[in-house]
Structure 1
Amino acid sequence: MNPRRKQRLAVVGIIVALVAGAIGLMLFALNDSIDLFYTPSEIIEGKNGQKPQVGQRLRIGGMVVPGSVSRDSQSLAVRFDLIDTGPTVTVTYNGILPDLFREGQGIVATGVLSAEGQIKAQEVLAKHDEEYMPPELAEKMKGIKHVNPNNASQNGSGEG
């Protein structure tokens, strides 16, 4: 190989290394601002073998459990449970909720995992169309009937 080709190959190699390094540094810098989407089951059981860490910023989507919404009469603070196909997660939010927010409604909340199974939300969004459900969640919820814990204990049969 002649010296000119060696020199060009070295320059191309250095450029590729610099570009790869720049991309790696950008991804590292953006790591804190990436919001990963989780369902309540994935927060409790883990997603791809990893559970989110306390303090991690994330987005969670699920259905508001009927009877779980409690509002503070002195402030805008609200607390409610979310469910998908398994365990529930408690969400606390201090602010004005969307007009479409109600029990049994699908919502997406952005916030921080404050303790295991508890989210402190900075933003709550309610879905617009009652018929729409993300395909992944629709697939998981096929054939699953959610039982209201209050009704299950009253009639003793576990049927809601």
Structure 2
Amino acid sequence: MNPRRKQRLIIVLGVGGLLSAAVALMLFALNDNIDLFYTPSEVVSGKQGTLPQVGQRLRIGGLVVPGSVTRDPESLDVTFALIDTGPQVTVSYQGILPDLFREGQGIVATGVLTQATHIRAQEVLAKHDEEYMPPELAEKLKGIKHQKPAKMEGATW
């Protein structure tokens, strides 16, 4: 092999190796920022045969079970249950909930799985539009009926 070709080959292989290493490092760094979306049924029974691990960050979406919201009177701690078509998952959150949060409403919570069916949420988002929802979640929620919250006496909206 010609020495000049050999030098070019070494340079091309070196640049290729550096690019591969840079891409691998970026993917490794982004791995901590990935939050997989689960429904309550997928948290309990697994998603594509894989159960989420305790300590894993995840997003969970479902309907707040009517009658399940409990608030600590001395702090901002709130605990509620989420459901889709199967088992319930308990979510605990410390902070002020969104204005649109209510029982029977669809929400998405981001947090850490602390037990097999318990999530400690850092963020709770209330769904504001009932027209659009991801197709996977719409299929799972087709058979569920939720109650609209009762109107408050004397409320002026």
Does TM-score exceed 0.5, indicating one fold? yes
1:38 deviation in Å? Answer: 1.1
> Could you tell me how far apart the structure 1 residues matched to 2:44 and 2:16 are?
41
> Could you tell me how far apart the structure 2 residues matched to 1:72 and 1:138 are?
33
1:101 deviation in Å? Answer: 0.2
**1:27 and 2:24 are equivalent in the alignment:** no
Q: Which amino acid aligns with 1:134?
A: P
TM-score (norm 1): 0.84
Equivalent residue runs for 1:31-110 within 5 Å? 31-110=31-110
1:132 deviation in Å? Answer: 2.6
Q: Number of paired residues? A: 147
Cross-structure match for 1:152: none
> Could you tell me how far apart the structure 2 residues matched to 1:62 and 1:53 are?
20
SS state at 1:120 partner: strand
**CA offsets per residue over residues 98-135 of structure 1, 9 Å max, x none?**
00000111101111101111000011000111333221
> Could you tell me how far apart the structure 2 residues matched to 1:120 and 1:3 are?
62
1:14 deviation in Å? Answer: 1.4
> Could you tell me how far apart the structure 2 residues matched to 1:75 and 1:99 are?
18
> Could you tell me how far apart the structure 1 residues matched to 2:145 and 2:6 are?
68
Query: CA 1:10–1:47 in structure 2 vs 1: closer, same or farther (change >3 Å)?
Result: same
Cross-structure match for 1:153: none
> Could you tell me how far apart the structure 1 residues matched to 2:74 and 2:31 are?
37
Structure 1: state its 5+ residue gaps: 149-160
SS state at 1:31 partner: helix
SS state at 1:18 partner: helix
CA RMSD of aligned residues (A): 1.8
Share of identical aligned residues, percent? 72
Q: Which amino acid aligns with 2:46?
A: G
SS state at 2:111 partner: strand
Cross-structure match for 2:135: 135
1:147 deviation in Å? Answer: 9.1
Q: Is the 2:81–2:89 contact (alpha carbons within 8 Å) kept by the matching residues of 1?
A: yes
Q: Is the 2:104–2:146 contact (alpha carbons within 8 Å) kept by the matching residues of 1?
A: no
Higher mean alpha-carbon deviation, 95-104 vs 23-32, is at 23-32
> Could you tell me how far apart the structure 2 residues matched to 1:129 and 1:43 are?
25
TM-score (norm 2): 0.86
Q: Is the 2:64–2:107 contact (alpha carbons within 8 Å) kept by the matching residues of 1?
A: yes
